[in-house]
Amino acid sequence: MSEVINHFLKYVSYDTQSKDEVDAVPSTSKQRILAEELVKELQAMKAADVRIDERSYVYATIPATMDKAVPVLGFVAHMDTSPAYSGADVKPQIVKNYDGKDILMNADTGLTMSPEDFPDLLKYIGQDIITTDGTTLLGADDKAGVAEIMTMAEYLLAHPEIPHGTIRIGFTPDEEVGRGADFFDVKGFAADVAYTVDGGGLGELEYENFNAASARVLIHGSSIHPGSSKGRMRNALLMGMEFHNMLPAAENPMYTEGYEGFYHLDSMTGSVEEARLDYIIRDHSKKKFEDKKEFMTRVADYLNHRYQSGTVELILKDSYFNMKEKIEPHMYLIDIAKTAMEDLGIEPLVTPIRGGTDGARLSYEGLPCPNLCTGGYNYHGKFEFIPVQSMEKVVKLLLKIVEKFAEK
């Protein structure tokens, strides 16, 4: 089995699920266990400047092997997995020489993954595919990225005859809850540019992402016995439904793709007395993004006017912004990655991210940081999978990018 797969299977055995609405970073202490393991491995490889901070960010350096001055290059991935689905006791399984048919993921439950539902599978007929057993997510988002960077580092440190400049490595906690870049030491990282390795299928290359915000809607009702409530009850649940129904029905992630933004109702809880709706707001266009937030504000104002002031509280919070404007002055990063892919027979797929990465935040903090593929699909759920050969090619891609930087 290849080194990248050995690393990957080891890392997915660690439960590093992050948790929403926790002030501490990392949001779960179990993330530090993997962080400390990565530190040990980096030290064993003889990486330089290996350190872990109090918030479990991991940093290391692969020293330059040539005198020529080239940009200091960084590679970044995140250690946590999504709160959306369990990451505990992951049981990966490797489907050898995939035949294009349904994959039986779990013999006990009969769960299968079908190319009719997931046609991307058909791209990998004849390859080896790693899946879950359907009881957890797999964790390729982003332990595949971690494994690929670690394998690249291991190779370069074992072959000092390969000419390259200084390379920085960074692993972050809590990316899945939007806090991966909160305490990233950009100054101490001291890279001129970087790539996150946190994308999807082989060939994906991304330098545009959503502008993102969260919206919390708190509805204050008034509970009265339904037998004597005429003219007096104000049902917070019904008012919450009214709020939601005033949003554009077509601007829902179920109906959008490409550059189209959305309002996504992520959770709704409550009673007649109090209700809470949590949304995420996304759009690639900064103007449309601001328009969406302003529209939500107008809906809240309307309902407060209709019922009474204070009935609806709207709490908006920006999460991250589209990194495009920060990458465009450094488009050589995209050109190098595309050329590296083409040299390896990988078709570059330059697409907008319908989400975000640590790289978006880091780009706004002065570290231009587009996103590279990991090779995985169907993140955040039980149907997650990643082809073995794609991971092996991503390692070659990282090495090729290092080579291209050495030639600058």
335 is in an annotated binding site: no
Residue 176 labelled as part of a binding site: yes
402, 167 contact by CB (below 8 A): yes
Q: How confident is the model at residue 154 (pLDDT cuts 50, 70, 90)?
A: very high
Are 174 and 28 found together in one domain?
A: yes
| Sign of the alpha-carbon torsion through 352, 355, 357, 360 | positive
In this predicted structure, what is the pLDDT of residue 340?
Answer: 98
Query: 141 exposed, middle or buried (CB, 10 Å; 0-12, 13-18, 19+)?
Result: buried
315 lies in the same domain as 282: yes
One domain, residues 200 and 338:
yes
Quote the number of domains for the chain: 2
**Domain co-membership, 288 together with 159:** no
For residue 341, with 0-12 CB atoms within 10 Å meaning exposed, 13-18 middle and 19 or more buried, which class applies? buried
CATH of the domain at 43: 3.40.630.10
Q: At what angle do helices 388-406 and 3-11 cross, to 10 degrees?
A: 110
Residue 291 assigned ligand-binding role: no
Q: Which of 15, 41, 80, 251 is catalytic?
A: 80
Answer yes or no: do 150 and 97 share one domain: yes
The mean pLDDT value for 81-101 works out to: 96
Question: Which of the listed residues 268, 292, 319 is the one where a domain comes to its end?
Answer: 319
Average pLDDT, the chain: 96
120 assigned binding-site residue: no
| Residues 55 and 199 grouped into a single domain | yes
Residue 98 has pLDDT above 70, yes or no: yes
Does the annotation list 89 as a binding residue? Answer: no
Question: Residue 1 pLDDT > 70, yes or no?
Answer: no
The catalytic residue among 154, 175, 208, 384 is: 175
Token pair for residue 337?
Answer: 């990655």
Domain-terminating residue out of 289, 319, 349: 319
Give the pLDDT confidence of 23-50 residue by residue, as tens digits.
Answer: 999 999 999 999 999 999 999 999 999 9
pTM for this one?
A: 0.91
Its domain, for residue 96, covers 3-209+322-406
CB 234 within 8 A of CB 221: yes
Last residue of a domain, one of 259, 294, 319: 319
pLDDT of residue 225: 87
Verify that 110 and 55 share a domain, yes or no. Answer: yes
Express each pLDDT in 313-359 by its tens digit: 999 999 889 999 999 999 999 999 999 999 999 999 998 988 888 99
C-alpha 312/C-alpha 144 separation (Å) is 43
Catalytic (active site) residue 278:
no
> Are 205 and 215 members of one domain?
no
Active site residue 80: yes
31 and 140 Cβ atoms separated by less than 8 Å: no
E strands in 28-185: 48-52, 58-62, 73-78, 93-95, 103-106, 111-113, 129-131, 167-172
Q: Could you give the CA distance from residue 74 to residue 370 in angstroms, rounded to a whole number?
A: 11
User: Is residue 282 located within the same domain as residue 327?
Assistant: no
Q: Are residues 72 and 110 in the same domain?
A: yes
Identify the band that residue 21 occupies on the pLDDT scale cut at 50, 70 and 90. confident
Residues 170 and 234 in one domain: no
Contacts made by residues 155-160, CB under 8 angstroms, sequence distance 24+: 155/3, 155/395, 155/399, 156/62, 156/399, 156/402, 157/45, 157/46, 157/47, 157/62, 158/45, 160/65
Tokens 């960010």, residue located: 57
Same domain, 220 and 339: no
User: Residue 269's pLDDT is what?
Assistant: 97
The Cα–Cα gap between 397 and 253 comes to 32
Mean pLDDT of 86-106: 97
CB neighbours (10 Å) of residue 73? 25
Tell me the two tokens of residue 194.
């970087």
Residue 201: other Cβ atoms inside 10 A: 18
Distance CA 170, CA 96 (A): 32
Q: What is the CATH number of the domain that holds 275?
A: 3.30.70.360
Q: What percent of the chain has pLDDT over 70?
A: 100
